[in-house]
């Protein structure tokens, strides 16, 4: 069964550094998402992406964050200058439709630790 893959599984970075989290969505899916889960807390929406542009974003997704689909397969989340509070599990997801009525397929996540 096709799946969403995320790399790396764990990233450690120093405060102020830039990080790029990578995702390969399911190949025939058109809608892509990033979610964040701070340890022990709920999963929070960050951003949705369709047709090479952001469809929606939450208030968490400030100017420090950006997303990109640099080629036909990858979908990346960049954090420009990481803060301690950015430490979390970041999940990428994709779906064939963008109405949230289709289940989102999540990757296994990237655990980001900012020191």
Q: In 10 A of CB 73, how many CB atoms?
A: 11
Q: What binding mask, one character per residue, do residues 84-103 give for other proteins by CB under 8 A, x or -?
A: -----x-x-------xxxxx
User: Does the footprint of other proteins cover residue 29 (CB under 8 A)?
Assistant: no
Minimum CB distance to other proteins smaller for 50 or for 106: 106
User: Does the footprint of other proteins cover residue 7 (CB under 8 A)?
Assistant: no
Smallest distance, other proteins to C-beta of residue 50, A: 13
User: Does the footprint of other proteins cover residue 45 (CB under 8 A)?
Assistant: yes
User: At a CB cut-off of 8 Å and minimum separation 6, what does 7 contact?
Assistant: 22, 23, 110
DSSP, residue by residue, 46-95: EEEEETTEEEEE-TT--TTEEEE--SSS-EEEEESS--GGG-EEEEEEEE
DSSP 8-state class, residue 104: P
User: Does the footprint of other proteins cover residue 43 (CB under 8 A)?
Assistant: yes
Smallest distance, other proteins to C-beta of residue 62, A: 16
């Amino acid at each position: 069964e096709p799946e969403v893959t995320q790399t790396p599984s764990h990233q450690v970075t120093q405060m102020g550094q830039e990080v790029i989290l990578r995702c390969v969505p399911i190949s025939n899916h058109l809608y892509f998402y990033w979610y964040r889960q701070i340890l022990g807390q709920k999963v929070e929406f960050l951003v949705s992406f369709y047709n090479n542009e952001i469809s929606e974003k939450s208030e968490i997704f400030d100017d420090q964050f950006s997303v990109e689909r640099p080629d036909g397969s990858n979908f990346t989340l960049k954090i420009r200058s990481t803060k301690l509070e950015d430490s979390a599990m970041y999940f990428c997801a994709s779906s064939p439709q963008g109405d949230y009525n289709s289940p989102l397929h999540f990757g296994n996540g990237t655990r980001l630790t900012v020191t």
